[in-house]
Amino acid sequence: MKAIGESSGVGRSGEPLAVEWTVTSITVDPACTHSGAQVPENGHFVALAIDAQTSPQFEDSALLGGFHPMGNWAIVDANGVTQPHASTTAAYRCQDLDFPPQLAPGSRYSFHLVFDSRSPHGVLTFVPSGRGGGWEWAF
């Protein structure tokens, strides 16, 4: 389980990390600021703030799907049940979309992701395609 502010990253063994990121905050039921905001479809919005940077040698294969909310993310509720469909239209419309659709070498990013959770408590998981393991943050 990762703590808020704790760094994560991926890269080849013996080489600098290809991409490194830090979840800087998790907010349950944040205020929605998008002009087309809707109520959560599943009950509660969960918003993450993330700072990330890629190495000059970064290649897309290092993090397939990047940080896109439809890809590598899931929510596990307080009972240990993985929730499908945590990325909903309502979650997309909570805040302006500012996540990078594609990562570029030698770049820095600061962005937000919003998910739609059945529970105000649980674990957010990030398991990139083609990688074993993954990362978890409690909320």
How confident is the model over 15-27, as pLDDT tens digits? Answer: 999 999 999 999 9
Instruction: Kindly report the pTM of this predicted structure.
Output: 0.92
How many other CB atoms sit within 10 Å of the CB of residue 57? 13
- Residue-level pLDDT at 82: 95
Task: Domain 7-138: give its CATH code.
Answer: 2.60.40
* pLDDT tens-digit map of 86-118: 999 999 999 998 999 999 999 999 999 999 999
Domain ranges of the chain: 7-138
Residue located via tokens 């996540």: 99
- Residue-level pLDDT at 85: 82
Mean pLDDT of the chain: 94
